[in-house]
Structure 1
Amino acid sequence: MHADTLLVFGRGVTVVDGRYRLTPESLARVRAAVNHVEHGRPERIVFTGGWALADGPTGPPVGSREGDLMLAAARAAGVAPEVELLAETRSRSTLENLLHTVEERLLGERAFTSARPLGIVSHGWHLPRVRYLIGKILRLRGAALLDVPVAGGNVPLSERMLAVGSRLCFLGCADPATLRRRERLVTRLSKRA
């Protein structure tokens, strides 16, 4: 099965010789999206990622944020011009990837179903948390989501903690403002610990 719309989650940006570059994990996610295009020709790909919480309040300049760099890498890989490529570049976390994508209406007005699922591109260890957050924010579950997993990579300890923390922190909540407040609170508390 193939998805008409792909939502690609970033995995970081590094600075090399004063230039912003995607991490190998982010590039692997772009390659997975490009591979999906070659086999199924989606209509739209949305790349998500601004900068990490640890990178300060302003992050990289516009054009050098993760979503921008992923979009450029997909174009350089030869994604067909009829595939619409979009980037969400304000986010600093997986939760914000989704919230900003919705706020900016980057997914359009599409109804995602088991016959026309939303493709989610990330490492296999990240997909359970992504699915959980998509269920909260977009109310999509099960077959309305199509995993496009990126192979490889060990599960970072931080991901295990985030997966558990997300379920506890966001329990009983789906309101975007409340989700943001809770995430900020948990971030502040974890920095103090």
Structure 2
Amino acid sequence: MTSPTATVLLVFGCGVVADGHGHRLTAEGEARTRAAVAYVTAHAAEFRRAALPRVVFTGGWPLGIPEAACPPAGCREADLMLARARAAGLDRYADLHAETRSRTTLQNLVHTVEDGLLAGHEFDPARPLGLVSHPWHLPRIRFLAGKALRLSGAALLEVAAADTATGRARRRERVIRAAARLGYLGVHTPAGLLRRERGIARSARLLSGWTRR
């Protein structure tokens, strides 16, 4: 049996690097963009037949960067990924959109919906939502999509970028994933999830300040 094709993709950002030439994507952000381009071109016929084929790039700047130091408009994670995808000709197969105010994976999902970037689409096993990220990140995205979008199982299709993560990075992600499962326990609305996330972030900052004393 042929697996269904996701003709709506959600591509997750992974940081921006500032240097003497301006702003550029991290290697992980570049890899995720390449994975989206490769998936769409490999399924070009399905994208051409789809009623509303769409690729949404999501991400502003990582939570650890102060708001005052955020990249300017046009240089945020989603902006840069979209520009790379357009240069690769992806707009021949799908509408391309950027959500640029998110700073976390949860915000990626919630703000994409709030901005209407998934409007007109319903997702199920026959028409899944494609999630584009690294293999170590996708389990947490799935968990949060279940909370924020009420989607799970075959209604979500994973599109994995080439993985070059170190063992340390994978261990860190496992800790974050476990913390998310515990921290969001019992919360099932987007607004509630964002409130809980803010509370977790405040607690983490307080704990960090205490441990440095």
User: Aligned runs of 1:121-136 on 2, under 5 Å?
Assistant: 121-136=132-147
Identity of aligned residues (%): 52
SS in 1 for 2:143: helix
Does the CA contact (< 8 Å) of 1:117 and 1:146 recur in 2?
yes
1:150 is matched with 161
Does the CA contact (< 8 Å) of 2:62 and 2:104 recur in 1?
yes
After TM superposition, give the deviation of residue 151 of structure 1 in Å: 2.3
The one of 22, 25, 29 aligned to 2:32: 29
1:51 is matched with 61
Give the TM-score normalised by structure 1.
0.95
1:170 is matched with 184
The one of 141, 147, 150 aligned to 1:139: 150
Question: How far apart are the structure 1 equivalents of 2:148 and 2:120?
Answer: 15
Question: How far apart are the structure 2 equivalents of 1:105 and 1:16?
Answer: 33
Does the CA contact (< 8 Å) of 2:29 and 2:81 recur in 1?
yes
> Structure 2: which amino acid aligns with 1:8?
V
Question: How far apart are the structure 1 equivalents of 2:174 and 2:203?
Answer: 17
Counting matched residue pairs gives 193
Does the CA contact (< 8 Å) of 1:10 and 1:26 recur in 2?
yes
The one of 40, 51, 61 aligned to 2:72: 61
SS in 2 for 1:20: strand
Does the CA contact (< 8 Å) of 1:48 and 1:97 recur in 2?
yes
Does the CA contact (< 8 Å) of 2:40 and 2:93 recur in 1?
no
After TM superposition, give the deviation of residue 76 of structure 1 in Å: 1.1
Consecutive unaligned residues of structure 1, counting only runs of 5 or more, are none
Does the CA contact (< 8 Å) of 1:3 and 1:40 recur in 2?
no
SS in 2 for 1:139: coil
Larger Rg: 2
Give the TM-score normalised by structure 2.
0.86
Runs of 4+ in 1 over 6 A off after TM superposition: none
User: RMSD of the TM alignment (CA)?
Assistant: 1.3
Most deviating of 34-43 and 130-139: 34-43
The one of 89, 95, 100 aligned to 1:89: 100
Question: How far apart are the structure 1 equivalents of 2:191 and 2:8?
Answer: 26
Q: CA deviation digits over 1:104-154, x for unaligned, max 9?
A: 010122111111110100000100000001011111111111110112122
After TM superposition, give the deviation of residue 18 of structure 1 in Å: 5.1
Does the CA contact (< 8 Å) of 2:148 and 2:193 recur in 1?
no
After TM superposition, give the deviation of residue 159 of structure 1 in Å: 1.4
